[in-house]
């Protein structure tokens, strides 16, 4: 297995783990705060802030995971009516637009992250940089996943997701 494949697998596993951990953390935190509010009578004031913080990361990680398993939606009513040659051309153009958009999101996300260092959350005083960093980090994951799909598409190879790999190993 090549070093690039090992790096890709490491990022994919990290992406999936962080998403699951963020979801579990939000659920546990919400349940703990319900207990504190209704049983103890003293809710934690900082929970909403941390939940929003975590939910932003969860949303971005979820978007990355959807791209990895090729679950993103597209409107291809016009493209499906074209000849296969033109379908391929429009598919390549669309992929290049997505890749360019992800590069822009990474660039502007880095700028936003740097500028967010001086802005603090009201209760805990956490710099918004930690929240805003979800954009360049997760868009980098998306760029890697989408870039791999695009490269395989250009070479005429079938893209396989983890779900495909699991089905093949089960048979």
Domain residue ranges in the chain: 3-159
Sign of torsion over alpha carbons 32, 37, 38, 40:
positive
Would you say residue 170 has pLDDT above 60? no
pLDDT in tens, 114-164: 999 999 999 999 999 999 999 999 999 999 999 998 988 888 776 655 545
Question: Do the Cβ atoms of 26 and 58 come closer than 8 Å?
Answer: yes
**Reported confidence tier of residue 39, pLDDT bands at 50, 70, 90:** very high
Would you say residue 92 has pLDDT above 50? yes
**Pick from 168, 145, 162: which is nearest to 63 by CA?**
145
**Nearest-angstrom CA–CA distance, 79 and 89:** 10
Mean pLDDT of 34-58: 93
Sign of torsion over alpha carbons 5, 12, 71, 93:
negative
Give pLDDT, residue 159: 62
**Exposed, middle or buried: residue 67 (CB in 10 Å: 0-12, 13-18, 19+)?**
buried
pLDDT in tens, 52-80: 999 999 999 999 999 988 887 777 788 88
**Nearest-angstrom CA–CA distance, 52 and 65:** 20
**Reported confidence tier of residue 23, pLDDT bands at 50, 70, 90:** very high
Give pLDDT, residue 91: 85
Mean pLDDT of 6-27: 93
3-state secondary structure at position 43: coil
**Nearest-angstrom CA–CA distance, 84 and 92:** 12
Helix axes 134-154, 3-35, angle to 10 degrees: 140
Alpha helices in 37-160 (DSSP H): 47-68, 84-115, 129-132, 134-154
**Nearest-angstrom CA–CA distance, 84 and 87:** 5
Would you say residue 102 has pLDDT above 50? yes
**Reported confidence tier of residue 169, pLDDT bands at 50, 70, 90:** very low
pTM exceeding 0.75: yes
Instruction: State phi, psi for 74 to the nearest 5 degrees.
Output: -150, 155
**Nearest-angstrom CA–CA distance, 123 and 18:** 24
């Amino acid at each position: 297995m090549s070093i690039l494949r090992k790096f890709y697998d490491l990022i994919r596993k990290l992406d999936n783990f962080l998403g699951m951990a963020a979801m579990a953390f939000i659920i546990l935190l919400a349940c703990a705060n319900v207990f504190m509010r209704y049983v103890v009578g003293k809710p934690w004031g900082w929970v909403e802030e941390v939940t929003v913080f975590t939910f932003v990361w969860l949303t971005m990680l979820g978007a990355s995971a959807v791209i990895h398993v090729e679950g993103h939606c597209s409107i291809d009513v016009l493209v499906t009516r074209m000849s296969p040659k033109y379908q391929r051309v429009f598919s390549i153009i669309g992929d290049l637009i997505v890749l360019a958009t992800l590069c822009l999101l990474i660039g502007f996300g880095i700028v936003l992250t740097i500028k967010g260092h001086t802005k603090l959350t009201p209760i805990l005083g956490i710099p918004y940089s930690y929240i805003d960093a979800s954009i360049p980090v997760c868009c980098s994951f998306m760029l890697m996943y989408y870039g791999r799909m695009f490269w395989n598409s250009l070479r005429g190879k079938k893209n396989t997701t983890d779900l495909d790999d699991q089905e093949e190993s089960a048979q």
